[in-house]
Amino acid sequence: MHYFIVEKDKSSDYTGIINGSHKWGLPGVISCPACKATWGDNSRTYPSADLTSVAALADFEEARAEPIEEYERLRDLVRPLLPPEAQLDPGTALGPIVGSAQGRFGPLVSPDPWWLLVQREALEKLQAEGLRGLKGCRTQLRFRQRNAPELLELELLSAGRLHTDCLPPNRQPPCPRCGRFGLTLPKTRLLDAATVPPHVDVFRLEDFSTVIVCTENFVNACQRLGLDGVAFHPLPVSR
């Protein structure tokens, strides 16, 4: 099996622009007691999360950093509302994208490297091809035009890791308390074959959540169906 990194197709003539953010989110962490880092990363998203039943909903509406005990309390509070395998790092974004959109969008849309949206018709075509793990979630985008498309955000579960051969030899392991993996994304990337999931055709890397990866089955289906808007870059795999 071959794998590819999914990114915005900068050569396309689509003009679509999205200005928005996810409705809720976990706070970042202030000075983790274990690694001393202050950080948060909203590139990991779970758009299917519905927090409306949470009593203290305001705790999830403002982006901020908190002491780690508060982050852990809020993380544990919403965990039952998320997929069982959800990776809930500090700053994780939750719920639908809320905001405005305008312009002409392709069947596939990547307004940020860590978001992947799809028009409903395109998603239905891909699902009909038998592709695995494609879950489209509604957005709350206001369009400034007639005949606006229905854009859904794909919920990308964390799976797969880069191989140690493309990482610094003197790297530190993830923080045992907050989970911070303080490495810069390497320019040369190698996917660890032993960590690749067998049950999904598009996913987000566990260790570098800004990277979206898909299988050759996903690429072939998009090309066969004429679904454009994103570019596919080969990702070497360790054997």
In which domain, by residue range, is 47 found? 21-94
Within-domain flag for 82 = yes
Q: Would residue 98 be called left, alpha or beta, if left means φ above 0 and alpha means ψ between -120 and 50 degrees?
A: beta
Residue 160 lies in a domain: no
For 102, counting Cβ atoms within 10 Å of its Cβ (0-12 exposed, 13-18 middle, 19+ buried), the class is middle
Check residue 239 and give its pLDDT.
75
Give the C-alpha separation, 207 to 67, whole Å. 23
Give Rg (Cα) of the chain.
Answer: 18
DSSP single-letter state for residue 118: E
pLDDT, averaged per 10 consecutive residues of the chain (239 residues), comes to 95 94 98 97 97 95 97 97 94 98 96 96 97 96 90 96 95 94 94 93 97 98 98 94
Give residue-wise pLDDT tens across range 117-160.
Answer: 999 999 999 999 999 999 999 999 999 888 899 999 999 999 99
Three-point CA angle 71, 180, 206, nearest 5°: 105
In a domain, 85, yes or no: yes
Asked if residue 26 is part of any domain, the answer here is: yes
Give how many domains the chain has, as a whole number: 1
The amino acid at 43: S
**Residue 64 is assigned to a structural domain of this protein:** yes
Within a domain: 191: no
156 lies in some domain: no
Would you say 155 and 149 are in contact if contact means Cβ atoms under 8 Å apart?
Answer: no
Q: Is residue 57 assigned to a domain?
A: yes
